[in-house]
């Protein structure tokens, strides 16, 4: 049984599999969303506030520092990095990697964004997905934990996630090192 995995993009992206195709306009939009996710220190809450004020990821990226500072967000390093187009990794390179590995980029507001995530206080602005999104994916389980887990904890998380995915559950987790990564490895083994 193929597992479908969703990642929140907080760490670097690893090898996954999926197929999709989009127009060049959609691609520019996705690269803009990905760029926001790659601004050092810019969290989901801030991204969502900026999108609320400017209306689109592309408009956020085009904003001047003065305009960014008028959003009510703290005038700190992330806004300066955003205005200067400083990213932790090159957005175009990351996008090319995503396309080559057949990842899907799902943004909050997309029709296929998981509705259950909208119910949490700080939903991820961007998700990375491998595999097909199916109606049965409404039944999912989150596996999250320490980035500095014990070896036994890592083995348990991987084994549990593999068993859950094999049983038909969609495993959802962050893309952090430690327990999150072990959960993804396990789900992909199923």
The residue ranking higher by pLDDT, 8 or 49, is: 49
Confidence of residue 133 (pLDDT cuts 50, 70, 90): low
Tell me, yes or no, whether 30 lies in a domain.
yes
Q: Is residue 175 part of a domain?
A: no
Residue 113 is assigned to a structural domain of this protein: no
- Cα(40)–Cα(54) distance, rounded to whole angstroms? 20
Q: Work out the average pLDDT over 46-72.
A: 94
124 occurs within a structural domain: no
Measured between alpha carbons, how far is 101 from 1 in angstroms, rounded to an integer? 20
Residue at 132 is within a domain: no
Q: Provide the β-strand partners of residue 141.
A: 171
Model confidence at 4: pLDDT above 60 = no
pTM over 0.85? The answer is no
Q: Are 13 and 97 in contact (CB under 8 A)?
A: yes
10 within 8 A of 179, measured Cβ to Cβ: no
Residue 185 falls inside a structural domain? no
Outline where DSSP puts E strands in 68-169: 104-107, 126-130, 140-142
Domain assignment of residue 71, given as a range? 21-101
Is residue 110 in some structural domain? no
Rounded percentage of the chain residues whose pLDDT exceeds 90 = 45
- At residue 92, does pLDDT exceed 50? yes
Q: List, for residues 33-49, the tens digit of each pLDDT value.
A: 999 999 999 988 999 99
The CATH number of the domain holding residue 35 is 1.10.150
Work out how many domains the chain is built from and give that number: 1
pLDDT of 145 strictly over 50: yes
Mean pLDDT calculated for residue range 95-103:
89
> Is residue 52 in a domain?
yes
């Amino acid at each position: 049984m193929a597992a479908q995995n969703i990642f929140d993009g907080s760490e670097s992206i690893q090898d996954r599999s999926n197929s999709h195709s989009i127009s060049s306009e959609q691609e520019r939009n996705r690269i803009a969303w990905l760029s926001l996710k790659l601004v050092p220190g810019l969290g989901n809450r801030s991204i969502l506030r900026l999108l609320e004020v400017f209306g689109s990821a592309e408009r956020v990226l085009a904003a001047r520092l003065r305009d960014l500072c008028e959003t009510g967000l703290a005038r700190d390093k992330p806004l300066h990095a955003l205005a200067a187009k400083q990213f932790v990794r090159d957005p175009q390179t990351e996008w090319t990697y995503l396309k080559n590995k057949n990842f899907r980029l799902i943004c909050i507001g997309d029709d296929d964004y998981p509705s259950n995530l909208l119910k949490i206080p700080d939903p991820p602005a961007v998700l990375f997905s491998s595999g097909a999104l199916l109606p049965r994916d409404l039944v999912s389980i989150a596996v999250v934990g320490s980035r500095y887990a014990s070896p036994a904890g890592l083995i348990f998380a991987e084994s549990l996630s593999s068993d859950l995915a094999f049983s038909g559950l969609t495993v959802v987790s962050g893309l952090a090192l430690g327990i999150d990564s072990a959960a993804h490895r396990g789900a992909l083994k199923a």
